[in-house]
Amino acid sequence: MLDNLALGLQTALSFDNLLWCFVGVFAGTLLGVIPGIGVLAAISMLLPLTFQLDATAALIMLAGIWYGTSYGGSTASILLNVPGTPSSAITALDGYPMARQGRAGVALLMTTIASFTGGSIGILLLMGFSGSIAQVALQFSSAEYFALMLLGLVAASSMSSGAMSKGLIMVCLGMLFGLVGSDVYTGTRRFTFGMIELADGIALVALALGIFGLSEVIVSIGKIDAKDIDSRSIGLKSMKPTREDVRRSWPPMLRGAAVGSFFGTLPGTGPSIAAFMSYAMERRVSKTPEKFGTGEIEGITGPESANNAADQTAFIPTLALGIPGSATMALMLGALMIHGIAPGPQLMTEQPSLFWGLVMSFWIGNLLLLVLNIPLIGLWVRLLTVPYQWLFPAVLMFICIGTYSVNSSGFDVLMVAMFGILGYALRLLSFPLAPMLLGFVLGPMMEEHFRRAMLLGRGDPLVFLSRPISAVVLLLTLGLLLLGIRSTLRARRLRAQAAHGPR
């Protein structure tokens, strides 16, 4: 263990990796602050820039963007009442009232500290548990992998907002896009319609930037107005919390970290749900639950700690099993594969410097964020006052150049336009988009494992049930499906009852 830590620290502290860690967290905070750019769009916009880096530096930078957006996302929530990222949406509930009361500085400082606390606890768990999980996973065969991926996809569709059937449709659609290209076993070109550009499949960046970047821009144009921030009221002096603030913030931070760490590792959940759960919990344990929503500090420190803890623990299944639990982690996994690294339990033993370097860089990144966010808060606030009508054309430019630079392909940029329109239409019909990306990345892996398992099972589908771990995971999946169906039916019945009046 100590050897690993030393190796990781050595890797993370090399000049290049430090630099890219800094670039990542800085860019992450920047993009997190700007509303209308979610974490998925932020990562996919900057993904192409990492292709020239070596794999470790690339992952360090991408991870920095991921947890950096969580730090930055709360800034817009508190000052504008518009979340910078979805995982900070809940922070607006009590953060914005605090800003109205002239306590924006305190709220910003405390969310930063809460983020750091949650993040740190998440990293500790990541360091403690990844190894043993990877050990177990070494025994897994294709059947177990298929079952686990299925569980992840079903969980992702049932946890995302809206009907589970719609989430599952999006998973299927994503998988379908993932199958475009050459079949791994026979080399047959599938769904390319004779287009040479599609022979290698649809570019991950084009899909992600289309459905998350372009469609998000379309939705946000004309909606975001940054006029009502008084940027002079937020200085270092205004950030000083009272003793009472500090005393009341510790317990929520610790509870938030626990809640966040748990939901981070679960497939299909993630920082947004973690933040929401933490808020609900704080309200429950509070002696004055009715005051929530009026500027209670517990309402911001709990969720912010939770979403950062979840950001870190989400790496456990991704790095230890090679199975991403959320769309963002799918993007991270896609980045790994683009760099030619096979994700999975062997990663820790075969690429120890990558794994431990990445983990140790999380410490450095979280510390950098603490340093970046407190003195530079004025800069982020000023950024929020740049009118969105000038920001969004710049965002579109970065999307286009980013996509083009991956394969030097104008075709990929046209794909962005196509997926942008598709994403916008799906938003209008209230289909959740994140499961689609998860399906896109997991689809080809699932097909491979399914075919291999069936080959090993001599064509008998019972192979998935004859192995205990796979059987248990499949049962869990079935349970989730039944739960989803039950809650849908119950919601319908309640609505029907409400319509007929009380009996």
Partner 1 sequence: MSVDDKANFAAGLLVVLVGVTVAAYAASSYDLGTLRRMGPGMFPMGLGLLMAALGAIVAIGAAVRVPGRPAREKVSVEWRNAVLATVGVIAFGLMIRPLGLILAVLAVVIIPAFADRKNKPLAVLVLAGVLAALAVAIFHWLLDLPMPLLPMGLR
Residues making contact with partner 1 (CB under 8 A): 49, 52, 163, 165-166, 168-169, 172-173, 175-176, 179, 183, 185-186, 188, 190-191, 214, 217-219, 221-222, 387-390, 392-394, 396-397, 399-401, 404-405, 408, 410-414, 416-417, 420-421, 424, 428-431, 447, 450-451, 454-455, 458-461, 488, 492, 495-496, 498-500
CB-nearer residue toward partner 1: 102 or 461: 461
CB of 189 to partner 1, least distance (A): 9
**In the block, residue with structure tokens 């700007």:** 34
What residues contact 494, with CB distance under 8 A and at least 6 apart?
none
Residue number, 198 or 234, with CB nearest to partner 1:
198
d(CA 201, CA 181) in angstroms, rounded, equals 4
Tokens linked to 329: 């982690």
Whole-number minimum distance, CB 202 to partner 1, in Å?
14
DSSP class of residue 83 equals -
- Give least dist CB 158 to partner 1, A: 13
Task: State the nearest-atom distance from the C-beta of 453 to partner 1, in Å.
Answer: 11
Encode burial over 231-266: b for 16+ CB neighbours within 10 A, e otherwise. beebeeebbebeeebeebbeebbbbbbbbbbbbbbb
Lookup result for tokens 């075969």 = 350
CB nearer to partner 1: pick between 183 and 245 = 183
Which C-beta is closer to partner 1: that of 295 or that of 439? 439
Q: Smallest distance from the beta carbon of 211 to partner 1, in angstroms? A: 13
> For residues 1 and 429, which CB has a smaller minimum distance to partner 1 in the complex?
429
Max intra-chain CA distance, the chain:
71
Q: Which residues are registered as beta bridge partners of 29?
A: none
Q: Which is nearer to partner 1, 90 or 198 (CB)?
A: 198
Whole-angstrom Cα distance, residue 109 to residue 374?
7
In whole angstroms, what is the distance from residue 56 CA to residue 437 CA?
23
Around Cβ 297, how many Cβ atoms within 10 Å? 26
> CB of residue 285 vs partner 1: minimum separation in angstroms?
32
Between residues 363 and 392, which has the closer beta carbon with respect to partner 1?
392
Nearer to partner 1, 50 or 77 (CB): 50
Instruction: Say how far apart CA 80 and CA 91 lie, in whole Å.
Output: 11
Length of the chain, in residues: 503
List C-alpha distances in Å: 77 to 88, 95, 246, 300, 477: 7, 7, 21, 10, 35
CB of 114 to partner 1, least distance (A): 34
| Nearest-angstrom CA–CA distance, 77 and 107 | 10
- Nearest distance in Å: CB 311, partner 1: 27
Measured between alpha carbons, how far is 179 from 371 in angstroms, rounded to an integer? Answer: 44
